[in-house]
Amino acid sequence: MKGVLGFAAAKLKRADEEGRVVPAIVLSLTLVALLPAAQSALAALGRTAPVRLRVLMEGFPEHLTVYVSVYNLTERGAVRVARASGPASALPPDGLTFDFAVHKVPLGLTEIRGVKKVRYEIYPFNVFAYAYDAEGRELYAASAYVTVSPEQYEYVVELKARKLHSKQVSADQVPAPNQYQEILDQQAREIVIVAYAVPAGVSCYMKVPAGSKIPIETFEKMYWTDDPTLQTWTEENWEATGFVDYEIDLDKEARVPPDTGDAGYLWPSNVDYVIATVGEGPSPLYIVRVLKYAKNINHNTIAAGPSSWAPCSGGTFLDEIKRPCTATITWSKYTGYRVRVESFSVSFKAIIGNGTVKVEFPGIEVRFKIEEYYITFQVSMVDWSKAPLDANYLRIYACDNERMQVRAQYEP
């Protein structure tokens, strides 16, 4: 690491200063790949926007130096785009700030309740901080994830350090940094998109539309040593460290008939992951981190299921239907948007002279439409004859305050 930067003046180092190309920071418009004739017209829209990343840290011993890195998560690995270091005792109370700029890649215009808004490309980042106590050979570290957008100026990330020490492994088991591997079409049964538990006499319907963005958990592990020449390193276990958004590519609908009742959930299948290694150090410590995060690569994800689900015993009360009424209660949850090209027109003319042909494009018009997506969930009271005789209400509860995980039951 090049020297020690005072925390009060820490800023993002530009990617060209590091001698690397950072795809999410130096990025041309992605839509022009589909519309080559419009490239020159749309390129002018690719302006940058200032973004501030404010990192709050706690748990680092004050006598140690803290090292902070910011990584951009790409299909081809994790690329460091910022770094800073300084004494833990000098940590700013309002957070260490990184000021940088991202390209404003317009995805289109959306209108919600009469308010028009331009949507832009977003960029996922991982923030990592560590401090090493050489005397006690103890490592303190923390990691977090954040998605930034030109639509918002400031983002706050909270890092809570903890002391690490797991087990010793031989050096030949430690992967080299700056590698990546794509793992395509993996099932993610641990991710609950929508879940239901209904008794006999009650039906439910759910739809997860294509374009929905589902949070997929990220995982990390770490190897470290204060002397890379040694044959023994310290290895940390895999841990869940945050979430990144993942897009569902195909519609998924599921219906539960009122015959016998059922409990189940929908989960994403064909999820693409990237496993990437990054290196920190070498002074005072050499660290190799292994990151596993979801990244749309193959674009063939569907919401799979249903599979058996064990509902919560409590939950938050949502609504009720009183006997003998039959009714349908509907919820929806915003899960993102997708941009479509609504129209594309080019007017041009050919000028022939002196044996040459020139083509001019006096007008290019591209119109986009943004389709917003909502998960739909319905619970319907259909047949009271299947309810117990003493049941006067069908009451509906949400597990973990999440309206897309619903439990319905008969009560007196």
**Residue 346: closest CA among 30, 29, 39, 31:** 39
- pLDDT reading at 110 higher than 80: no
The answer to which of 4-8, 154-158, 202-206, 323-327 has the lowest mean pLDDT is 4-8
**Distance between terminal CA atoms of the chain?**
67
- Give DSSP secondary structure letters for 113-139: TTEEEEEE--EEEEEEEEEEETTTTEE
This prediction has a pTM of 0.72
- pLDDT reading at 349 higher than 80: no
Q: What is the pLDDT of residue 180?
A: 92
Tokens of 288: 């190799």
Tokens of 76: 């081809």
- Give DSSP secondary structure letters for 23-87: TTTS---SGGGT-GGGHHHHHTT--EEEEEEEEEEES--TTSEEEEEEEEEETTEEEEEEEEEEE
Q: What is the pLDDT of residue 111?
A: 60
Alpha helices in 155-307 (DSSP H): none
Q: What is the pLDDT of residue 210?
A: 84
Instruction: Work out the percent of the chain whose per-residue pLDDT is above 90.
Output: 35
pLDDT band at 5 (very low <50, low <70, confident <90, very high): very low
CB atoms within 10 A of CB 309: 20
The answer to which of 62-66, 214-218, 252-256 has the lowest mean pLDDT is 214-218
The CA-CA-CA angle for residues 231, 232, 235, to 5°, reads 140
- pLDDT reading at 10 higher than 70: no
* Three-class SS state of 358: strand
Supply the mean pLDDT for the chain: 78
Q: What is the pLDDT of residue 339?
A: 54
- pLDDT reading at 38 higher than 80: no
The answer to which of 110-119, 212-221, 308-317 has the lowest mean pLDDT is 110-119
CA–CA gap between residue 334 and residue 146 (Å, rounded) = 19
pLDDT band at 37 (very low <50, low <70, confident <90, very high): very low
**Residue 99: closest CA among 34, 153, 175:** 153
For residue 338, CA distances in Å to 73, 211, 370, 371 come to 21, 6, 6, 5
Instruction: Work out the percent of the chain whose per-residue pLDDT is above 70.
Output: 77
Q: Which amino acid is at 380?
A: S
Better-scored residue on pLDDT, 363 or 371: 371
- pLDDT reading at 351 higher than 50: no
Identify which of 195-199, 214-218, 345-349 has the greatest average pLDDT.
195-199
pLDDT tens for residues 257-297? 999 889 999 999 899 999 999 999 887 899 999 999 998 88
CB-based burial, 79-117: b 16+ in 10 Å, e otherwise: bbbbbbbbbbeebeeebbbbebebbbbbbbebeeeeeee
pLDDT band at 303 (very low <50, low <70, confident <90, very high): confident
For residue 153, CA distances in Å to 15, 57, 62, 101, 217 come to 20, 20, 30, 10, 25
Q: What is the pLDDT of residue 357?
A: 46
Looking at the DSSP assignment, which residues form a beta bridge with residue 126?
71, 145
1-165 CATH: 2.60.40
- Domain layout of the chain by residue ranges: 1-165, 316-411
pLDDT tens for residues 126-180? 999 999 998 888 899 999 988 888 888 899 999 999 988 778 899 989 999 999 9
CA–CA gap between residue 1 and residue 226 (Å, rounded) = 14
